[in-house]
Amino acid sequence: METAEIARRFLAFFEKNGHTVVPSASLVAEDPTLLLVNAGMVPFKPYFLGQRTPPYTRATSVQKCVRTIDIDEVGKTSRHASFFQMLGNFSFGDYFKEGAIPFAWELLTSSVADGGFGFDPDRMWVTVYLDDDEAETIWREKVGLPADRIQRRGKADNFWSMGVPGPCGPCSEIYFDRGPAYGAEGGPVADENRYLEVWNLVFMQFERGEGSGKEDYPILGELPSKNIDTGMGLERMAAILQGVDNIYETDTLGRILRRAAELTGVAYGDNERSDVSLRVVADHVRTATMLVADGVKPGNEKRGYVLRRILRRSIRNLRLLSGDESFHMHDLTAVAIDAMGDQYPELRADADKIHSVIDAEEKNFADTLRAGTALFNRAAERTRRSGSTEFSGADAFQLHDTYGFPIDLTLEMAAEQGLKVDEETFHQLMQRQREAAKRDAKAKKLGNADISVYARLLETGGPTDFLGYTESEGEARVL
Ligand code: ATP
Ligand code: MG
Ligand code: MG
Ligand code: MG
C-alpha cells in the first residue's frame, strides 16, 4: 500500500466516524515555544489548553513533523526520520478511552477491502501506564486483546504532560510484532526494533499543578473536559505495509535512497557504514526539501540552523559515499520533490525556489569544507603521529574560528578517523572568546546589539546551546 493511500485511508476512516479533516499546518510552528512542529497535536494546542474553543469536537489530520531530537538516530534505527508525518485523531471533550481504543483497533485490524490496514490481530501488542486499569480493561474486554500482550510502562514512556499547570495523562501505545528475524521475543518492553511502535494514544485526563520539581508536580484532579490526542507514524505504517526492513526503504524515501546510491556509485546493502550514510542522505534531503518549502532558510540560529545542519550532514555523507566532491543535491532534491509531490503539490509549484536555496547552501558549504579540510587533515595527522587519539581542542577551535566549521562537523570528521575531540578545551576556548566579545561589546557600549557574536555563539555552543532550546517529552521549548 502506497504512503499516500495510507494517509487517505486514515483520514477517510475518521471522517466516516464524525471527524473534521484538518489540513497539515506549516512546519514553522505558530506556537512561540516551539521551533518546528514535532507532533500532530501542536496546531490544536490552544484547544487542549482551553485558550480557544474548537469549531468541532472531533478532528483528524496528517501533520508534517520535524524532530531534531531524533536526528542522530536517523539511519541507525529502523524507525526514526527527522521529517515524518503524524496521522492523528483528536477528541475535544467528546469520546475518551472507550472511543479511542476501539477506533484504533478497528482501523488497524479490519481488512483492506473494508477500508482498514489488515493487520494480523495476533501480532499486535500494547502498553498502558502503570496504574491505568481503565485502559487495560478496555483493551481486554472491549477489544479482546489477551492480557499477555498488554504491558505496563512507567512515566518516561507512558505518561504525557504539557506545561505546568496544564493537562496530562496516561498513554497507550500500539506495537506491531515484526517477527523473530527482528529480535528476541518479550514484547515492546524487551525490544522496540522487533516490536515497532506505530501509534500512540494519549488520554488527557488530569490537570497538573506547580510543585517542587518536575517529577513531583502534583496532580490536581481530573480535567472537567477530557480529550484525546493520538499520533500514528505514517512512515512506520508504510514500512510494515510495504514489507520493507525500515522506513528509509519505503516508497517515498526509498526513491531518494536509490538515486543517492546511483549517483555515488555505492550499492545499498554493501556494508553497514555506507548503508547508514545512504539512509541519512535519503532522510535529510527530504527533510531539507520540506523545511525550505515551508519557508525556512539556512542560517546560524534556530530553524535556520536546524536546516543548515541537516543540509550539511547530507552533503558530507554524499562526499563520504562518492569519495569525491561532486554536487548531487540538485538531483536528489528533484527526486524528493517528485516523491512527495502527490501529497504536497506546492512542492512542484515551488520547485525553483527550493532548488535555489539548497543549491546555494551546497556551494557555500563546499567552500567552507575546502578551506578547512586541509587544516583538519594536518591536525589529525599530527595527532596520530604523536601516538594520541585525541584531536586537540585548540585545533577544533581554530577550525571553527577561522574556517567556520561547526563543532559537530569536527566531531563527525574526527570520529571517522577514530579520533576523539578534546571538547572540554574547545568549550573553554569558546567561553573565553565569548567573554572577550562581551567585554569588547561593553567597551564599545554595544551591549547585545552585536548580532554577529550572538549568531556565532548560537552556532557553536554545543548541541542544546546552539539550537537555543531543549527538547523533552517530544516538545522543543525556547529557553
Ligand atoms: P519512539 O519511541 O519510537 O522514538 P515516540 O514514542 O517518541 O517513538 P511519539 O512521540 O509517541 O513517538 O509519536 C507518535 C508516533 O509518531 C509514534 O508512535 C511513531 O509511529 C511516530 N514517530 C515518532 N517519532 C518518529 C520519527 N522520528 N520518525 C518516524 N515516525 C515517528
Ligand atoms: Mg522518540
Ligand atoms: Mg516510544
Ligand atoms: Mg510514543
Q: Are residues 166 and 281 in the same domain?
A: no
Q: Specify the residue with its C-alpha closest to ligand 1, atom 13.
A: 231
Question: Is 236's C-beta closer than 6 angstroms to any atom of ligand 1?
Answer: yes
Is 340 in the same domain as 394?
A: no
For the complex shown, is ipTM > 0.90?
yes
CA of 233, closest atom in ligand 1: 20
Instruction: Please answer whether residues 227 and 204 qualify as being in contact, where contact means their C-beta atoms are separated by less than 8 angstroms.
Output: yes
Is 378 part of any domain?
A: no
Q: What is the C-alpha separation between 127 and 238, in angstroms, rounded?
A: 22
Of all protein residues, whose CA lies closest to atom 19 belonging to ligand 1? 233
- Nearest atom (ligand 1) to Cα of 196: 3
Shared-domain flag, residues 318 and 368 = yes
The rounded distance, in Å, linking the Cα atoms of 433 and 181 is 52
Residue 400 lies in a domain: yes
Looking at this protein, which amino acid is placed at residue 404?
A: G
Which residue's CA is the nearest one to ligand 1's atom 21? 233
* 424 and 331 co-located in one domain: no
Same domain, 295 and 419: no
Is the C-beta atom of 45 inside 6 A of ligand 1? no
Burial letters 5-20, b for 16+ CB under 10 A, else e: ebbebbbebbeeeebe
On whether both 393 and 366 belong to a single domain, the answer is no
* 75 CB within 6 A, ligand 1: no
- Domain end (from 181, 215, 241): 241
Residues 6 or more apart in contact with residue 268 via CB below 8 angstroms = 257, 258, 261, 274, 275, 278
In a domain, 336, yes or no: yes
Alpha helices in 216-301 (DSSP H): 234-241, 251-264, 272-293
* Confidence at residue 153, expressed as pLDDT on a 0 to 100 scale: 96
pLDDT, tens only, 137-174: 999 999 999 999 999 999 999 999 887 778 999 999 99
Residue ranges making up the domain that contains 254: 250-372
Asked if the structure places residue 382 within a domain, the reply is no
Q: Look at residue 414 in the predicted model and tell me its pLDDT.
A: 95
Report if residue 381 sits inside a domain.
no
Final residue belonging to a domain, choices 372, 406, 439 = 372
Atom 12 in ligand 1: residue holding the nearest Cα: 200
Confidence at residue 58, expressed as pLDDT on a 0 to 100 scale: 98
On whether both 219 and 289 belong to a single domain, the answer is no
Specify whether 362 is located in the same domain as 395: no
Contact 309 CB / ligand 1 (< 6 Å): no
Is there a single domain that holds both residue 209 and residue 345? Answer: no
Ligand 1 centroid to 233 CA: how many Å?
6
Cβ atoms of 242 and 1 within 8 Å: the answer is yes
Give the separation between CA 260 and CA 281, rounded to whole angstroms: 7
For residue 379, being part of any structural domain is answered with no
User: What are the pLDDT tens digits along the chain (479 aa)?
Assistant: 999 999 999 999 999 999 999 999 999 988 888 999 999 999 999 999 888 999 999 999 999 999 999 999 999 999 999 999 999 999 999 999 999 999 999 999 999 999 999 999 999 999 999 999 999 999 999 999 999 999 999 999 999 988 777 899 999 999 999 999 999 999 999 999 999 999 999 999 998 887 655 556 788 888 888 999 999 999 999 999 999 999 999 999 999 999 999 999 999 999 999 999 999 999 999 999 999 999 999 998 899 999 999 999 999 999 989 999 999 999 999 999 999 999 999 999 999 999 999 999 999 999 988 889 989 999 999 999 999 999 999 999 999 988 888 788 899 899 989 999 999 999 999 999 989 988 887 776 544 433 333 334 344 433 333 332 333 323 332 22
Residue 318 lies in a domain: yes
The residue from 241, 275, 301 where one domain ends is 241
How many separate domains does the chain show? Answer: 3
On whether both 359 and 427 belong to a single domain, the answer is: no
Is the Cα dihedral 124, 130, 135, 137 positive or negative?
positive
Same domain, 38 and 164: yes
Is residue 383 in some structural domain?
Answer: no
Cα gap 68→70, rounded to integer Å: 5
pLDDT at 412: 86
To test the ligand 1 pocket, which listed residue (63, 200, 237) has its Cβ within 8 A of the most ligand atoms?
A: 200
Residue 295: how many other CB atoms lie within 10 Å: 13
| Atom 11 of ligand 1: nearest residue by CA position | 200
Instruction: Judge if the beta carbon of residue 475 lies within 6 A of ligand 1.
Output: no
Residue with cell 546589539: 449
Are residue 89 and residue 216 in the same domain, yes or no? Answer: yes
281 lines ligand 1 (CB under 6 A): no
